[in-house]
């Protein structure tokens, strides 16, 4: 007879899988939070400084992880598997020290200052050259994304674009991808 609630079983399973997939750190000792970047349906995103390297990072806090176990695990597995220059990179996963406290997780990504939606809104209207440059980057990467929209395309200060939010994605064999 299973004495643990279904959600807790899933939570313990995801902790074990995540520990195997990524290097986990203690967020209190490693990262200095700078500012809130945005708030989303799954939690909050902040910019921070990695005190070990001095580099800026983005930390995404995912609230109530047990409600979205499948999606979160799928996204973490895909991002760790893909390791592509045009896909945002996971640096670390921060978990609570005790599995009984498992409610939220923190995913540390490389810093991308904003998303393409913000770039378009902030500049009012972009030139045809901007759109051409952005499309060139997206097509050059040969990455298939099922939920491609400006909000899921991140940009840094040099207008380098990277894709994010792979929670809806599924692994596909190479022959399903179109290559030019």
Cα gap 41→43, rounded to integer Å: 6
- What per-residue confidence (pLDDT) applies to 131? 82
In a domain, 149, yes or no: yes
- Compute the mean pLDDT over every residue in the chain, rounded to the nearest whole number: 75
In a domain, 1, yes or no: no
- Edge-to-edge strands of the sheet including 56-62? 31-39, 43-50, 56-62, 105-110, 90-94
- What per-residue confidence (pLDDT) applies to 57? 95
In a domain, 128, yes or no: yes
Instruction: Judge whether 8 and 69 are in contact, CB under 8 Å.
Output: no
Which segment of 58-62, 66-70, 141-145, 163-167 scores lowest on mean pLDDT? 141-145
In a domain, 14, yes or no: yes
In this prediction, residues 49-61 reach a mean pLDDT of 93
Report the CATH number at residue 171.
1.10.510.10
Quick one: which of 176, 7, 4, 11 has its CA closest to 104?
Answer: 11
- What per-residue confidence (pLDDT) applies to 55? 94
* pLDDT over threshold 50, residue 17: no
Confidence of residue 169 (pLDDT cuts 50, 70, 90): low
> In which domain, by residue range, is 83 found?
6-176
pTM above 0.85, yes or no: no
Give the tens place of pLDDT for each residue, 27-48.
557 899 999 988 877 788 899 9
Give the tens place of pLDDT for each residue, 138-154.
777 676 677 788 888 89
In a domain, 73, yes or no: yes
* pLDDT over threshold 70, residue 4: no
Token pair of 27, please? 């967020």
Instruction: Judge whether 79 and 97 are in contact, CB under 8 Å.
Output: no
Which segment of 55-59, 80-84, 107-111 scores lowest on mean pLDDT? 80-84
Give the tens place of pLDDT for each residue, 84-125.
788 888 898 887 777 677 788 888 999 998 888 888 888 777
Judge whether 86 counts as a catalytic residue.
no
- What per-residue confidence (pLDDT) applies to 170? 56
| Cα–Cα distances in angstroms (integers) from residue 70 to residues 2, 9, 14, 93, in the given order | 21, 13, 9, 16
In a domain, 10, yes or no: yes
**The dihedral formed by the CA atoms of 64, 164, 159 and 114, expressed in degrees to the nearest 10:** -20
Domain count across the chain? 1
Catalytic-role residue among 50, 86, 147, 174:
147
In a domain, 144, yes or no: yes
């Amino acid at each position: 007879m299973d004495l643990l609630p279904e959600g807790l079983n899933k939570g313990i399973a995801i902790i074990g899988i995540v520990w195997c997939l990524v290097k986990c750190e203690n967020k209190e000792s490693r990262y200095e939070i700078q500012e809130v970047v945005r708030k989303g349906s799954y939690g909050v995103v902040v910019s921070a400084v990695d005190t070990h390297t001095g580099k800026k990072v983005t930390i995404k806090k995912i609230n109530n992880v047990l409600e979205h176990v499948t999606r979160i695990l799928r996204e973490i597995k895909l991002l760790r598997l893909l390791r592509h220059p045009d896909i945002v990179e996971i640096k670390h996963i921060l978990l609570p020290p005790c599995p009984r406290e498992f409610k939220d997780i923190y995913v540390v990504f490389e810093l991308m200052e904003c998303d393409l939606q913000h770039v378009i809104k902030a500049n009012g209207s972009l030139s045809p050259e901007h759109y051409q440059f952005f499309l060139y980057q997206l097509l050059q990467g040969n990455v298939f994304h099922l939920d491609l929209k400006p909000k899921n395309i991140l940009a840094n200060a040099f207008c380098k674009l990277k894709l994010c939010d792979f929670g809806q994605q599924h692994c596909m064999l190479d022959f399903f991808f179109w290559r030019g």
